[in-house]
Amino acid sequence: MPARSPEYMAENQAGRLLAVEGSLFALSTIAVLLRFYVRVFMLKTFGWDDIMMAIALALSSTTLGLFLKVIDLGLGKHAEAFPLENIFPFFKVMYFYSIFIIAVYSFIKLSIGFFLLRLADRTKWRPFLIGMLVFIVAFTIGSTFAIIFQCIPVQAGWDYSLRPPTGTAKCYDAEIFKNVGVFNSSINIATDLLFALIPIPMLYRLQVTIQTRIGLAVILSLGLFASAVAIYKTPMQYNFFKITDWSGDGSWYYIWQQVEMHIGIIAACLPTMKPLFANFFGQVRSLATKGRTTGSNGLNSTPFRSNGYMKHNDMRPGDSFAMKNMSDNSASTGRDPYTEDAVLGE
């Protein structure tokens, strides 16, 4: 191989990697915080789907820390310029990074599954969704064990000196490891597609307006973008071991992992923000029509009238805490907060 130029050896993708990862992490974190604001302060309910998302965000933060560590160790530099003393520490960090990113993917799916399970309380989809949740848990455990025990002893997973010819460790063949990874990605794509498409027929059975059905179907189907990223990433994963510049040009594979993860988080949180958007646009509509209406302290003059609901702060003593539909003068019946009213802010 001809000698590399000093300019080539000095090239570093770290700045661009950090810019992309930092932006994605900020967006997904904002999405989760808005989700929690809606659930805690507007709907006064915090369910299993929110707990799963909280865990996903915590694990996502952990992967960010590990990603920053491998950047510090040399990810972004060309393989020829990668510091030799950082090779084993790099692979050790990536070993744990792989475990955590699988966990993040799974908790995102569990959050989506529990969200849909709330909506499917009285539909035929409930048994199917429960089966999906059980499958995701089992698949996650299997995938995690496949990574942890890729070598015996486990330390050989990152310490290549323990592998033949210098050591006696037993490890997966590189071809087997690659095929297992592609199989896992294929399962992730399939579950992403199912969770993105299931809401479309399921929403037709909910007692919500046609506008709500269409809007939620579109928002929930944003999970298709995560599927598209996973599909784009899979050939990169299949050919990763053929890349000689694994730490330079090959570093973008790890970014695509992050893109898939953060888009999944954002897509899972957007449907829960409907009450926030409805509140905002209701206030905008109220301001726009203020000059054409007479002053009044009644319900008709509040921005919440455009949504058809009364804000809980305006409730009289004795009223149920659940939101009351004022458009048809129906009384609140104190329904379980895990109905579509609380889930969707209807």
Asked whether the CA dihedral 212, 214, 220, 222 is positive or negative, the reply is negative
Are the CB atoms for 234 and 161 separated by under 8 Å? no
Q: Cα(119)–Cα(126) distance, rounded to whole angstroms?
A: 9
The pLDDT tens digits of the residues spanning 128-161 come to: 999 999 999 999 999 999 999 999 999 999 998 9
Helices H / strands E in the chain, number of each: 12, 2
Q: Cα(226)–Cα(20) distance, rounded to whole angstroms?
A: 16
The phi, psi pair for 180, rounded to 5°, reads: -65, -40
Are the CB atoms for 53 and 61 separated by under 8 Å? no
Helix or strand run (H / E) with residue 32: helix 14-37
- pTM given for the model: 0.80
CATH 1.20.1070 residue ranges for the chain: 11-275
Q: At 9, which amino acid appears?
A: M
**What CATH number is given for 11-275 in this structure?**
1.20.1070
Q: How far is CA 332 from the centre of its chain?
A: 34
CB-facing half-sphere around the CA of 188: CA atoms within 13 A: 30
Say what the pLDDT of residue 346 is: 54
Positions in the chain whose pLDDT score sits under 50: 296-338, 342
Say what the pLDDT of residue 3 is: 78
Say what the pLDDT of residue 197 is: 83
